[in-house]
Amino acid sequence: SAKIMMMDLPYSVEELVEATKDVVRDSGLPSCYIRPIAYFGYGEMGLNTLPCSVDVAIACWPWGAYLGDEAVTKGVRMKTSSWQRHEHNTMPPASKTTGNYVNSSLAKVEALKAGYDEAVMLNPQGLVSECTGENIFVARNGRLVTPPVSAGALEGITQSTVVAIAADHGYEVIVDDLARSDLYIAEEMFVCGTAAEVSAVNSVDDRTIPCPGVMTSAIAADYARCVRGELDKYSHWVELVK
């Protein structure tokens, strides 16, 4: 993200990891959500960021189940948003840039006001991109399909984690385009993200989807244990804070 935005971070990855652990340790929280943000600091007023310094802030706070306490077992209701995921040459969706989330916020609020839990976002070509803050996985013909970066999907860390867990269960995962109607006939479906973890989907545009599916349940259970340091085989993904 920083490279796309031409931000020269003043800290190494190792320094940022240690700073994050310090924040979590000092908070005293047994479980929390972590939000690091790099931003342009003092420079000149205007749109030219080149003279600006690059600063970093890290925060953490308690955050329960982002899509609801029963998202894993009973699933969430989704609607296709009237707001499109923006084009690569408009705002690069590959970058977790704060401004990109205005697009997501519009879609999220629209879905909530309509009585749904989350929104599915299509790109200008009508292909499934992602949700407002989560990657999408659909089970079709016994394997999992997730939209490609070219469709506007974020190449998420949680997404790659889920792919690895799925492979360990023997589930094939392919990256391919999905049409809106592909969601309606899914054998099962889930979304994943840092906040949402792995959450099942029970319907899209009022078309019922089997929930929770076998693959969804298995992956969700392992992911939840993984991020809490309860699975030794994934311990290399975990940073110990003590």
Query: How confident is the model over 159-191, as pLDDT tens digits?
Result: 999 999 999 999 999 999 999 999 999 999 999
231 secondary structure, DSSP code: -
* Domains of the chain: total: 2
Q: Please report the pLDDT score of residue 52 as a whole number.
A: 94
- Do residues 24 and 32 lie in contact, with contact meaning Cβ atoms separated by under 8 Å? yes
Q: Provide the residue range defining the domain that includes 202.
A: 76-227
CATH at 128: 3.20.10.10
152 is written with which tokens?
A: 């506007």
Same domain for 51 and 160: no
CA distances from residue 160 to 91, 136, 175, 208, 241 in whole angstroms, order as listed: 23, 12, 11, 27, 23
pLDDT digits (tens, 9 = 90+) for 22-72: 999 999 998 899 999 999 999 888 899 999 999 999 999 998 777 777 777
Residue of 51, 56, 58 lying closest to 11 (CA atoms):
56
Same domain for 220 and 149: yes
| Set 21, 96, 233, 242: catalytic member | 96
100 secondary structure, DSSP code: G
CA distances from residue 189 to 108, 178, 193 in whole angstroms, order as listed: 19, 12, 14
pTM score, two decimals?
A: 0.91
Could you tell me if residue 240 is inside a domain? no
96 is catalytic: yes
What region, left, alpha or beta, does residue 72 occupy, with left being phi > 0 and alpha being psi -120 to 50 degrees?
Answer: alpha
